[in-house]
Amino acid sequence: MFKAMSITDLSTGKPVSLSVPIVQELALQDPHIVPEKYVASEQDRPSLLLPTCESDSVPVIDMSILHDNPKELEKIALAAQEWGFFQVVNHGIPGSLMERMRSVVKSFFQLPLEEKLKYEMQNNQGYGQAFVASEEQRLDWADILFLFTLPVESRDMKLWPTTPANFRETMQDYAFETKILAEKLLSVLAQGLGIRPSCFVESFGELCAAVRMNYYPPCPRPDLVLGLSPHSDASGITILLQDDKCPWVALQVRKGGEWVSIPSIPDALVINIGDHLEVISNGRYKSVEHRAVTSTNKERTSIATFYNPHNKMEVRPVPELLDDYHPCLYRKTTVFEYAMHYLSDKLEGKKSIDFLKIHENN
């Protein structure tokens, strides 16, 4: 049912990305030039004219009042339906841990190249870039460090940096704390649809997590280049820690055909619905396209934690949301099968989830 993988590792049969230059090095070598491969096609180039109107911005949810205030529950459910994105404050992750996390990730990307290359990407984990399916593909202006964090057995410790010295410990603490938040969000989001709070948590099973740390170097032509191509996340739910030292707004979400910026709010986390939760909620919650743009004079780091259903779980709409008036809209899949499809080509909009949709005549 999944299309043929474009590039596979012959020993594992898994899709792997082609290796590409480290953008941080390119930007250092010639700070005035954008190599041709990084120039986005005309229709994909970021417009620098974005709506800034306050009323059209991603909702901010105060998690400390969710229990007592039905309006806040309504607000989070509406945000997940209409935007697929919201920000949370009073979410329970200590500010000091968020700060430590930002700091170790920034320090890692500042290491000399040969040190970072000790963790070079293997089978889609490690330092480098992912989703490069062909030599002709336009490239994103970013380097990444991608690691599986939960369950503990999924970790490939040889790809976990040992410098800075507190990298591993911080990553571990952050993975556990954000897991608690992810579970809480899943139960609140189920409640927001009027179903049992544990409904989504049960269909996820033991949560699996991966962290994608993005480093966007300064770019001489932010108008021509994408930091991260438009995509929806192949996750259940994503928790994004933005750079708090960034004077410009880099993350954008698609809303009604427009790109709307998501500002970095101190102490807030950005939450977005991933493809699996769109499926599990039978399309009630939306996994929405987003992208990141770059800036001329400032680098940026961001940390996306993807919480997924357990690899062995079948991902399908929960029966509680299906009836005669709400037919099942998605084929069942597994996280593993879906990841193979998602990884087998360049990042592009909602290509993978469209593939799972059951069409009228099926």
CA distance 174 to 28: 31
Closer CB to ligand OGA, residue 149 or residue 214? 214
Contacts of residue 203, defined as CB under 8 A and 6 or more positions apart, other chains included, come to 280, 309, 313, 315, 316, 318
CB of 163 to ligand OGA, least distance (A): 23
For position 130 contacting ligand OGA by CB under 6 A, the verdict is: no
CB of 21 to ligand OGA, least distance (A): 19
For position 251 contacting ligand OGA by CB under 6 A, the verdict is: yes
CB of 234 to ligand OGA, least distance (A): 9
Question: Which two tokens mark 306?
Answer: 């993807």
Which of 51, 49, 53, 22 lies closest to 35 in space, CA to CA?
22
Residue 302 binding partner per list ligand OGA, Ni ion, none, with a CB distance cut-off of 5 to 8 Å that depends on partner kind? ligand OGA
Residue 212 binding partner per list Ni ion, ligand OGA, none, with a CB distance cut-off of 5 to 8 Å that depends on partner kind? ligand OGA
CA angle (141 as vertex; 101, 46 as ends), nearest 5: 110
- How many residues contact ligand OGA, by CB under 6 A? 11
Closer CB to Ni ion, residue 102 or residue 231? 231
Q: Footprint of ligand OGA on residues 3-22 (CB under 6 A)?
A: none
Residue 251 binding partner per list ligand OGA, Ni ion, none, with a CB distance cut-off of 5 to 8 Å that depends on partner kind? ligand OGA
Q: Which residues bind Ni ion (CB under 5 A)?
A: 233
Give rounded-to-5 percent helix, strand, coil for the chain: 30, 20, 45
For position 212 contacting ligand OGA by CB under 6 A, the verdict is: yes
For position 214 contacting ligand OGA by CB under 6 A, the verdict is: yes
Residue with tokens 């469209």: 354
Residue 277 binding partner per list Ni ion, ligand OGA, none, with a CB distance cut-off of 5 to 8 Å that depends on partner kind? none
Question: Which two tokens mark 83?
Answer: 């935007």
Cβ–Cβ < 8 Å for 104, 111: no
For position 304 contacting ligand OGA by CB under 6 A, the verdict is: yes
Which of 344, 283, 271 lies closest to 15 in space, CA to CA?
344
For position 140 contacting ligand OGA by CB under 6 A, the verdict is: no
Local structure of residue 137 (DSSP, 8 states) = -
Pairing mode, strands 208-216 and 228-231: unpaired
Closer CB to ligand OGA, residue 292 or residue 315? 292
Closer CB to ligand OGA, residue 228 or residue 268? 228
CA distance 122 to 36: 26
253 pairs with which residues across the strands? 260, 290
CA distance 14 to 1: 16
User: x/- site string to ligand OGA, residues 163 to 202, per CB under 6 A?
Assistant: ----------------------------------------
User: What is the binding site for ligand OGA (CB under 6 A)?
Assistant: 212, 214, 228, 233, 240, 250-251, 290, 292, 302, 304
